[in-house]
Structure 1
């Protein structure tokens, strides 16, 4: 299968899978428990993909490792600024600070907060597409691992977004359709990434560093804090096991698919 075919398949699968599962979780009465489980797993998958795959691969194909780690650091700072600007806001549970105003509005804002979510989500999905493309351009196995990590964290994020859209006055069908449309941005990001990097191969390593930065940032600043809301020992053991499971999944895929260029 060609690299482009892999990128398209992964982008479409990631988009459809995350939206489908997110909607079913969001509409499920016991969704919060499932979302909590998924968040812990996603943290492991993101950190595993960043530290075991994306960064080592980037360091392997670059001549300037110090420059690469600087890009990683800069990336984390940029994601912090983006999140401050609310472009990158995720929060997986309905009752988090970022969503407070949404839950208390009546529908008179005609889903303005919903529109912010959709815009932020579309931008985010587009970037995810570029990251998936970059990973596949570097190495097929890295692409598969990256797509899995991105999908794992998209599911709780999309479920949270789905709940917010319903709260800001969207119908179920409307919320699903809005999520689906913003999901198509992943495919456009994947296409753009492929054609851009075909011409500009020297950008693959720096963009992999940015990909690692985004995974580390999302795991550490967006996902981990939500786990601290359940400090009791049983919950903590479950969280640690699920994080290890997430890392283990990524490690196993890497080990079994072997490393090849």
Structure 2
């Protein structure tokens, strides 16, 4: 499979999800939305552990380092990086009317787009770093592992694309414009993945740190956005079940294909 195809798989998931705006008349049912948010959280948690943190620890052992150190340091740096981005970029979550980040005069739609972009940054990094490791021939990162991670993220991007485009249509935006917003929210992933590949190939020695960094950034999104949104209001057990299904699916993909 060509490199660019692997990097574009997650964007395909977002695009197909955003396209649901053309086929669904009403907004997504609240219970279904909670299930999908929980599912996305489960996929990202499993990807962080099996596709990123475990390979980072194994690499450190092979390099004769303290096994847990690069994983711990990289993970916390990823958390802090997303915390920093979250605090300075003006953005607005779909279920909120109160903007976060620095004050700005951006429109509500623009700030919603920024929120999703922040969310997608670590996913693109994760795919890029995993693929870069495979290119360099590292024993703990294979091409099939990169493909498995891309497929897993694409699967959880499908409902996210719909969760973005459907509410925008519900607020009066045209179907085409809502679809474009959903599509554009996922463009950052292949761009981020490609940039990460370029940087990682130049600095092989810090690959374990970068893997853990991506894991930390993904977990930040899970804890800051996905879990709170899936557990708000009634029927929180639905979000929990969705998370369990997403976790198992991503774990199976990584173990079976990695």
TM-score band by shorter chain is 0.7 to 0.9
Equivalent of residue 71 in structure 1, options 65, 74, 79: 74
TM-score w.r.t. structure 1 length? 0.75
Change (3 A) 1:150 1:162: same
Provide TM-score, normalisation by structure 2: 0.76
Counterpart in the other structure of 1:17: 13
The match for 1:105 is none
Going from structure 1 to structure 2, the CA distance change for 1:96 and 1:122 (only over 3 Å counts) comes to closer
Of stretches 191-200 and 35-44 in structure 1, the one that deviates more from structure 2 is 191-200
Deviations 1:19-70 (A, max 9, x none): 2213416944251333222111111111111123310001111234314302
- Correspondence list, 1:171-210, <5 A: 171-210=174-213
| Equivalent position to 2:108, from 106, 113, 117 | 113
1:219 corresponding residue in structure 2: 222
Contact 1:134 1:208 in 2 (8 A): yes
Between the aligned partners of 1:174 and 1:41, the Cα distance in structure 2 is 26
Q: Hey, what's the Cα distance between the residues in 2 that align with 1:128 and 1:90?
A: 20
Task: Provide closer, same or farther for how the CA distance between residues 13 and 37 of structure 1 changes in structure 2, counting only shifts above 3 A.
Answer: same
Deviation string 1:60-109 (CA, Å, 9 cap, x unpaired) is 1123431430221232133223223345x574xx4334479xxxxxxxx8
Shift of 1:163: 4.4
Instruction: Kindly state the Cα deviation for residue 134 of structure 1 after the two structures are TM-superposed.
Output: 0.6
CA displacement at 1:202 relative to structure 2: 2.1
User: What is the aligned-residue RMSD (CA, Å)?
Assistant: 3.1
Matched, 1:135 2:124: no
Equivalent pairs, count: 239
Q: Would the aligned equivalents of 1:38 and 1:152 in 2 still touch at CA under 8 Å?
A: no
Deviations 1:197-242 (A, max 9, x none): 222222322221111112211222211112322444xx51x33332
- Give the whole-Å Cα distance in 1 for the aligned partners of 2:53 and 2:132: 14
**Correspondent of 2:38 among 40, 59, 67:** 40
Q: Secondary structure at the match of 1:31?
A: coil
Which ranges in structure 1 are unaligned for 5 or more consecutive residues? 101-108
Q: Deviations over 1:165-221 (max 9, x none)?
A: 446764321232243344333222222222332222223222211111122112222
Aligned equivalent of 1:248: 248
Deviates more, 1:204-213 or 1:71-80: 71-80
CA contact (8 A) 1:53 1:142 kept: yes
| TM-aligned CA deviation for residue 254 of structure 1 | 2.6
Distance in 2 (alpha carbons) for counterparts of 1:15 and 1:184: 6
Instruction: Note the C-alpha offset of 1:115.
Output: 2.2
Write 1 or 2 for the structure with the bigger share of helix. Answer: 1
Does the Cα contact within 8 Å between 2:89 and 2:114 map onto a contact in 1? no
